[in-house]
């Protein structure tokens, strides 16, 4: 049961500089989407959330959409 996007693509690391990939896992209100909707496993969800937070801090992603 490999529904996880990162497991199926054999991606080991989630990079905070890959903004196009991170935007797939953010809602229209710039919130981090829940695991139930994205289908990402728990290990990659943790790495994904830290990557999104780092990208926000480096101002690559917005904290809030207008």
* Fold that domain 5-57 belongs to in CATH: 30s Ribosomal Protein S18 (4.10.640)
Q: Where are the domains of the chain?
A: 5-57
Model pTM score? 0.89
> What local confidence, expressed as pLDDT, does residue 2 receive?
57
Residues 4-47 pLDDT 10s: 899 999 988 899 999 999 999 999 999 999 998 989 999 999 99
Contact 25, 6 (CB under 8 A): no
Question: Which of 48, 65, 40 lies closest to 13, judged by CA?
Answer: 48
């Amino acid at each position: 049961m490999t529904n996880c996007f990162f497991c199926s693509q054999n991606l080991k690391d989630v990079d905070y500089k890959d903004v196009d990939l991170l935007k797939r896992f953010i809602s229209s209100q710039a919130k981090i989407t829940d695991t139930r909707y994205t289908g990402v496993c728990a290990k990659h969800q943790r790495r994904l959330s830290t990557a999104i937070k780092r990208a926000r801090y480096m101002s690559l992603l917005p904290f809030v959409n207008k």
